[in-house]
Structure 1
Amino acid sequence: MDILIRSLVIFAFLWLIVRVGGKREVAQLSAFDMILLITVGDLVSQGIVQEDYSLTAAVIAVATFSIAGITLSSLAIHFPPFRPWIEGRARIVVRDGEPLLDMLRAERITIQDIHEAAREQGIRRMRHIELCVLETDGSFSFFTQGDEDERDGAPDRDSIA
Protein backbone atom coordinates (compact mmCIF):
# COMPACT_ATOMS: atom_id res chain seq x y z
CA MET A 1 0.00 0.00 0.00
CA ASP A 2 2.93 2.31 0.73
CA ILE A 3 4.20 1.95 -2.86
CA LEU A 4 0.73 2.75 -4.23
CA ILE A 5 0.49 5.99 -2.23
CA ARG A 6 4.05 7.06 -3.11
CA SER A 7 3.32 6.29 -6.79
CA LEU A 8 0.20 8.47 -6.74
CA VAL A 9 2.07 11.34 -5.06
CA ILE A 10 4.91 11.17 -7.60
CA PHE A 11 2.42 10.88 -10.49
CA ALA A 12 0.57 14.01 -9.29
CA PHE A 13 3.87 15.86 -8.84
CA LEU A 14 5.13 14.96 -12.33
CA TRP A 15 1.76 15.84 -13.89
CA LEU A 16 1.91 19.24 -12.18
CA ILE A 17 5.49 19.82 -13.34
CA VAL A 18 4.58 19.05 -16.97
CA ARG A 19 1.49 21.32 -16.78
CA VAL A 20 3.44 24.21 -15.23
CA GLY A 21 6.46 23.67 -17.47
CA GLY A 22 4.56 24.73 -20.55
CA LYS A 23 3.36 23.03 -23.70
CA ARG A 24 6.27 24.00 -25.89
CA GLU A 25 8.79 22.82 -23.32
CA VAL A 26 7.43 19.29 -23.52
CA ALA A 27 7.15 19.36 -27.32
CA GLN A 28 10.75 20.56 -27.81
CA LEU A 29 12.83 18.12 -25.83
CA SER A 30 16.51 18.15 -26.70
CA ALA A 31 18.92 15.23 -26.31
CA PHE A 32 20.04 16.65 -22.96
CA ASP A 33 16.41 16.91 -21.84
CA MET A 34 15.86 13.26 -22.72
CA ILE A 35 18.90 12.23 -20.66
CA LEU A 36 17.61 14.37 -17.81
CA LEU A 37 14.20 12.69 -18.06
CA ILE A 38 15.77 9.25 -17.89
CA THR A 39 17.76 10.31 -14.82
CA VAL A 40 14.65 11.80 -13.22
CA GLY A 41 12.85 8.56 -14.00
CA ASP A 42 15.44 6.60 -12.08
CA LEU A 43 15.32 9.02 -9.16
CA VAL A 44 11.54 8.90 -9.12
CA SER A 45 11.54 5.11 -9.13
CA GLN A 46 13.86 5.13 -6.13
CA GLY A 47 11.47 7.47 -4.35
CA ILE A 48 8.53 5.24 -5.14
CA VAL A 49 9.92 1.82 -4.28
CA GLN A 50 12.57 2.97 -1.75
CA GLU A 51 14.64 -0.08 -0.86
CA ASP A 52 12.14 -2.55 -2.33
CA TYR A 53 13.56 -3.63 -5.70
CA SER A 54 11.23 -6.59 -6.03
CA LEU A 55 9.26 -7.40 -9.15
CA THR A 56 6.04 -6.85 -7.18
CA ALA A 57 7.06 -3.29 -6.24
CA ALA A 58 7.88 -2.46 -9.86
CA VAL A 59 4.58 -3.91 -11.10
CA ILE A 60 2.61 -1.96 -8.47
CA ALA A 61 4.41 1.30 -9.35
CA VAL A 62 3.92 0.89 -13.12
CA ALA A 63 0.30 -0.19 -12.68
CA THR A 64 -0.40 2.80 -10.45
CA PHE A 65 1.05 5.22 -13.02
CA SER A 66 -0.90 3.52 -15.81
CA ILE A 67 -4.19 3.54 -13.92
CA ALA A 68 -3.68 7.18 -12.87
CA GLY A 69 -3.09 8.14 -16.52
CA ILE A 70 -6.16 6.21 -17.67
CA THR A 71 -8.21 7.81 -14.91
CA LEU A 72 -7.19 11.32 -15.99
CA SER A 73 -8.02 10.49 -19.62
CA SER A 74 -11.41 9.12 -18.58
CA LEU A 75 -12.14 12.23 -16.53
CA ALA A 76 -11.32 14.40 -19.54
CA ILE A 77 -13.64 12.36 -21.76
CA HIS A 78 -16.58 11.88 -19.40
CA PHE A 79 -16.48 15.25 -17.62
CA PRO A 80 -15.75 17.95 -20.22
CA PRO A 81 -15.56 20.78 -17.63
CA PHE A 82 -12.42 19.09 -16.23
CA ARG A 83 -10.75 18.80 -19.66
CA PRO A 84 -8.94 22.19 -19.56
CA TRP A 85 -7.53 21.37 -16.12
CA ILE A 86 -6.33 17.96 -17.22
CA GLU A 87 -5.19 18.53 -20.80
CA GLY A 88 -4.76 22.29 -20.93
CA ARG A 89 -6.29 24.68 -23.45
CA ALA A 90 -5.34 25.59 -26.96
CA ARG A 91 -4.24 29.24 -27.11
CA ILE A 92 -4.32 31.69 -29.99
CA VAL A 93 -0.85 33.24 -30.24
CA VAL A 94 -1.15 35.10 -33.60
CA ARG A 95 -4.26 36.83 -34.93
CA ASP A 96 -4.42 38.53 -38.34
CA GLY A 97 -0.64 38.42 -38.74
CA GLU A 98 0.05 40.07 -35.37
CA PRO A 99 1.65 38.06 -32.56
CA LEU A 100 -0.24 38.34 -29.27
CA LEU A 101 2.72 39.23 -27.08
CA ASP A 102 0.93 38.78 -23.75
CA MET A 103 -0.08 35.26 -24.73
CA LEU A 104 3.44 34.47 -25.98
CA ARG A 105 4.85 35.58 -22.63
CA ALA A 106 2.23 33.61 -20.69
CA GLU A 107 3.05 30.44 -22.67
CA ARG A 108 6.82 31.14 -22.54
CA ILE A 109 7.34 30.97 -26.30
CA THR A 110 9.09 33.37 -28.62
CA ILE A 111 8.21 34.88 -31.96
CA GLN A 112 11.14 32.89 -33.34
CA ASP A 113 9.35 29.68 -32.27
CA ILE A 114 6.35 30.78 -34.34
CA HIS A 115 8.55 31.74 -37.31
CA GLU A 116 10.24 28.33 -37.24
CA ALA A 117 6.94 26.46 -37.08
CA ALA A 118 5.51 28.65 -39.87
CA ARG A 119 8.51 27.94 -42.10
CA GLU A 120 8.02 24.22 -41.49
CA GLN A 121 4.48 24.65 -42.85
CA GLY A 122 5.70 26.62 -45.86
CA ILE A 123 4.42 29.97 -44.59
CA ARG A 124 6.81 32.77 -45.48
CA ARG A 125 5.14 35.90 -44.13
CA MET A 126 3.46 36.69 -40.83
CA ARG A 127 0.76 38.68 -42.57
CA HIS A 128 -0.47 35.45 -44.22
CA ILE A 129 -1.26 33.94 -40.82
CA GLU A 130 -4.90 34.53 -39.99
CA LEU A 131 -4.64 32.50 -36.77
CA CYS A 132 -1.86 30.55 -35.12
CA VAL A 133 -2.99 28.25 -32.32
CA LEU A 134 -0.68 26.71 -29.75
CA GLU A 135 -2.29 23.30 -29.27
CA THR A 136 -2.42 21.40 -26.00
CA ASP A 137 0.38 19.08 -27.16
CA GLY A 138 2.74 22.00 -27.83
CA SER A 139 2.38 21.98 -31.62
CA PHE A 140 1.22 24.95 -33.70
CA SER A 141 -1.79 24.98 -36.02
CA PHE A 142 -1.83 27.66 -38.70
CA PHE A 143 -4.84 29.08 -40.49
CA THR A 144 -3.68 31.22 -43.39
CA GLN A 145 -5.20 33.83 -45.61
CA GLY A 146 -5.17 33.54 -49.42
CA ASP A 147 -1.99 34.00 -51.44
CA GLU A 148 -3.26 37.03 -53.36
CA ASP A 149 -0.96 39.29 -51.31
CA GLU A 150 2.11 37.77 -52.99
CA ARG A 151 0.83 38.69 -56.46
CA ASP A 152 0.03 42.33 -55.68
CA GLY A 153 3.69 43.34 -55.34
CA ALA A 154 3.40 44.23 -51.66
CA PRO A 155 6.75 44.82 -49.90
CA ASP A 156 8.34 41.90 -48.03
CA ARG A 157 8.80 43.75 -44.73
CA ASP A 158 7.16 40.98 -42.67
CA SER A 159 9.12 38.08 -44.16
CA ILE A 160 9.85 35.41 -41.55
CA ALA A 161 12.54 33.55 -43.46
Structure 2
Amino acid sequence: MDIVIRATVVFVLLWFVLRVSGKRQVTQLSAFELILLVTLGDLISQTVLQDDLSLTGGTLAVATFALLSVLLSWLSWRFRRSRRLLEGEPTILVKDGHVDDAVLRFERLPVDDVLAAAREHGVRDLAAVDLMVLEADGTFSVFTKSESDGEEPPKRGAVAS
Protein backbone atom coordinates (compact mmCIF):
# COMPACT_ATOMS: atom_id res chain seq x y z
CA MET A 1 0.00 0.00 0.00
CA ASP A 2 2.93 2.30 0.70
CA ILE A 3 4.00 2.08 -2.97
CA VAL A 4 0.51 3.09 -4.16
CA ILE A 5 0.49 6.15 -1.89
CA ARG A 6 4.00 7.22 -2.96
CA ALA A 7 3.12 6.63 -6.62
CA THR A 8 -0.02 8.74 -6.25
CA VAL A 9 1.88 11.61 -4.62
CA VAL A 10 4.60 11.50 -7.30
CA PHE A 11 1.98 11.31 -10.07
CA VAL A 12 0.21 14.42 -8.79
CA LEU A 13 3.55 16.21 -8.38
CA LEU A 14 4.56 15.26 -11.94
CA TRP A 15 1.22 16.37 -13.34
CA PHE A 16 1.61 19.72 -11.62
CA VAL A 17 5.22 20.19 -12.75
CA LEU A 18 4.34 19.35 -16.35
CA ARG A 19 1.36 21.72 -16.34
CA VAL A 20 3.48 24.56 -14.95
CA SER A 21 6.47 23.87 -17.20
CA GLY A 22 4.54 24.77 -20.32
CA LYS A 23 3.29 23.30 -23.57
CA ARG A 24 6.19 21.59 -25.26
CA GLN A 25 6.50 18.42 -27.23
CA VAL A 26 9.40 16.02 -27.10
CA THR A 27 10.56 17.30 -30.49
CA GLN A 28 10.84 20.81 -29.02
CA LEU A 29 13.07 19.75 -26.13
CA SER A 30 16.76 20.56 -26.13
CA ALA A 31 19.26 17.77 -25.52
CA PHE A 32 19.71 18.99 -21.94
CA GLU A 33 15.96 18.98 -21.28
CA LEU A 34 15.71 15.44 -22.64
CA ILE A 35 18.51 14.31 -20.32
CA LEU A 36 16.70 16.00 -17.44
CA LEU A 37 13.53 14.02 -18.28
CA VAL A 38 15.43 10.72 -18.31
CA THR A 39 17.07 11.60 -14.99
CA LEU A 40 13.69 12.61 -13.63
CA GLY A 41 12.38 9.16 -14.55
CA ASP A 42 15.14 7.50 -12.55
CA LEU A 43 14.52 9.80 -9.57
CA ILE A 44 10.83 9.01 -9.73
CA SER A 45 11.41 5.27 -9.73
CA GLN A 46 13.70 5.60 -6.70
CA THR A 47 11.16 7.75 -4.90
CA VAL A 48 8.21 5.51 -5.64
CA LEU A 49 9.84 2.14 -5.08
CA GLN A 50 12.41 3.11 -2.40
CA ASP A 51 13.94 -0.23 -1.34
CA ASP A 52 11.27 -2.42 -2.93
CA LEU A 53 12.77 -3.55 -6.24
CA SER A 54 10.46 -6.54 -6.54
CA LEU A 55 8.31 -7.30 -9.56
CA THR A 56 5.23 -6.73 -7.41
CA GLY A 57 6.43 -3.29 -6.32
CA GLY A 58 7.21 -2.23 -9.89
CA THR A 59 3.88 -3.57 -11.12
CA LEU A 60 2.01 -1.69 -8.39
CA ALA A 61 3.79 1.57 -9.25
CA VAL A 62 3.13 1.24 -12.99
CA ALA A 63 -0.48 0.20 -12.40
CA THR A 64 -1.03 3.19 -10.09
CA PHE A 65 0.37 5.61 -12.69
CA ALA A 66 -1.74 4.02 -15.43
CA LEU A 67 -4.90 4.08 -13.29
CA LEU A 68 -4.39 7.73 -12.33
CA SER A 69 -3.74 8.64 -15.96
CA VAL A 70 -6.98 6.95 -17.03
CA LEU A 71 -8.80 8.66 -14.15
CA LEU A 72 -7.59 12.11 -15.27
CA SER A 73 -8.63 11.32 -18.82
CA TRP A 74 -12.08 10.20 -17.67
CA LEU A 75 -12.53 13.26 -15.43
CA SER A 76 -11.60 15.51 -18.34
CA TRP A 77 -14.08 13.72 -20.61
CA ARG A 78 -16.88 13.51 -18.03
CA PHE A 79 -16.63 17.01 -16.54
CA ARG A 80 -16.02 19.61 -19.25
CA ARG A 81 -15.24 22.33 -16.74
CA SER A 82 -12.30 20.33 -15.43
CA ARG A 83 -10.79 20.00 -18.92
CA ARG A 84 -9.13 23.42 -18.84
CA LEU A 85 -7.44 22.64 -15.54
CA LEU A 86 -6.47 19.06 -16.39
CA GLU A 87 -5.41 19.42 -20.02
CA GLY A 88 -4.77 23.12 -20.51
CA GLU A 89 -6.28 25.30 -23.18
CA PRO A 90 -5.22 26.60 -26.57
CA THR A 91 -3.46 29.95 -26.67
CA ILE A 92 -3.60 32.46 -29.52
CA LEU A 93 -0.07 33.50 -30.47
CA VAL A 94 -0.65 35.40 -33.72
CA LYS A 95 -3.82 37.16 -34.80
CA ASP A 96 -4.20 39.03 -38.08
CA GLY A 97 -0.44 38.80 -38.67
CA HIS A 98 0.48 40.35 -35.31
CA VAL A 99 2.43 38.38 -32.71
CA ASP A 100 1.22 38.74 -29.13
CA ASP A 101 4.50 39.31 -27.29
CA ALA A 102 2.85 39.12 -23.86
CA VAL A 103 1.56 35.64 -24.64
CA LEU A 104 4.98 34.55 -25.91
CA ARG A 105 6.55 35.76 -22.64
CA PHE A 106 3.91 33.96 -20.59
CA GLU A 107 4.41 30.71 -22.54
CA ARG A 108 8.21 31.22 -22.50
CA LEU A 109 8.18 30.73 -26.25
CA PRO A 110 10.81 32.41 -28.42
CA VAL A 111 9.60 34.12 -31.59
CA ASP A 112 12.00 31.84 -33.49
CA ASP A 113 9.81 28.86 -32.52
CA VAL A 114 6.75 30.70 -33.84
CA LEU A 115 8.54 31.43 -37.10
CA ALA A 116 9.67 27.80 -37.38
CA ALA A 117 6.10 26.58 -36.78
CA ALA A 118 4.84 28.93 -39.49
CA ARG A 119 7.44 27.60 -41.93
CA GLU A 120 6.47 24.02 -41.08
CA HIS A 121 2.94 24.94 -42.15
CA GLY A 122 4.18 26.47 -45.41
CA VAL A 123 3.90 30.10 -44.29
CA ARG A 124 6.85 32.37 -45.11
CA ASP A 125 5.62 35.59 -43.55
CA LEU A 126 3.62 36.01 -40.35
CA ALA A 127 1.69 38.82 -42.04
CA ALA A 128 -0.08 36.04 -44.00
CA VAL A 129 -1.26 34.38 -40.79
CA ASP A 130 -4.85 34.98 -39.78
CA LEU A 131 -4.53 32.95 -36.61
CA MET A 132 -1.80 30.83 -35.00
CA VAL A 133 -2.72 28.81 -31.97
CA LEU A 134 -0.52 26.96 -29.51
CA GLU A 135 -2.67 23.94 -28.74
CA ALA A 136 -2.89 22.41 -25.27
CA ASP A 137 -0.73 19.49 -26.44
CA GLY A 138 2.10 21.78 -27.59
CA THR A 139 1.37 21.62 -31.32
CA PHE A 140 0.77 24.67 -33.49
CA SER A 141 -2.31 25.29 -35.61
CA VAL A 142 -1.84 27.88 -38.34
CA PHE A 143 -4.67 29.48 -40.31
CA THR A 144 -3.69 31.75 -43.16
CA LYS A 145 -5.62 34.62 -44.63
CA SER A 146 -7.41 33.30 -47.67
CA GLU A 147 -7.84 35.17 -50.91
CA SER A 148 -11.58 34.83 -50.50
CA ASP A 149 -11.85 36.90 -47.31
CA GLY A 150 -14.67 38.92 -48.80
CA GLU A 151 -16.84 35.90 -49.63
CA GLU A 152 -19.53 34.73 -47.29
CA PRO A 153 -19.18 31.23 -45.89
CA PRO A 154 -21.71 28.70 -47.24
CA LYS A 155 -25.01 28.63 -45.39
CA ARG A 156 -25.63 25.74 -43.04
CA GLY A 157 -26.58 22.65 -44.98
CA ALA A 158 -25.51 24.21 -48.27
CA VAL A 159 -22.78 22.69 -50.36
CA ALA A 160 -20.01 25.03 -51.47
CA SER A 161 -19.41 24.96 -55.20
TM-score, normalised to structure 2's length?
A: 0.87
Q: 2:2: which partner in 1? A: 2
Q: 1:145: which partner in 2? A: 145
Q: Which amino acid aligns with 1:108?
A: R
Q: Which SS does the other structure have where 1:62 is aligned?
A: helix
Per-residue CA distance 1:115-158 (angstroms, 9 max, x = gap): 0110111101111100000001111100101259xxxxxxxxxx
Per-residue CA distance 1:84-107 (angstroms, 9 max, x = gap): 000000010110000011111111
Unaligned runs of 5+ in 2: 149-161
Indicate yes or no: 2:60 matched with 1:56.
no
Number of aligned residues: 148
Q: Which amino acid aligns with 1:17?
A: V
Distance 2:26 2:135 in 1: 12
**4+ long deviations beyond 3 Å:** none
Contact 2:130/2:143, CA 8 A, preserved across alignment: yes
Distance 2:24 2:56 in 1: 36
Distance 1:95 1:27 in 2: 25
Q: 1:152: which partner in 2? A: none
Alpha carbons of 1:26 and 1:15: their partners in 2 closer, same or farther (altered >3 Å)?
farther
Distance 1:121 1:25 in 2: 17
Distance 1:66 1:144 in 2: 39
Q: 2:68: which partner in 1? A: 68
Q: Percent identity between the aligned chains?
A: 48
Q: 2:95: which partner in 1? A: 95
Unaligned runs of 5+ in 1: 149-161
Q: Which SS does the other structure have where 1:14 is aligned?
A: helix
Contact 2:25/2:137, CA 8 A, preserved across alignment: no
Distance 2:60 2:87 in 1: 25
Distance 2:128 2:147 in 1: 8
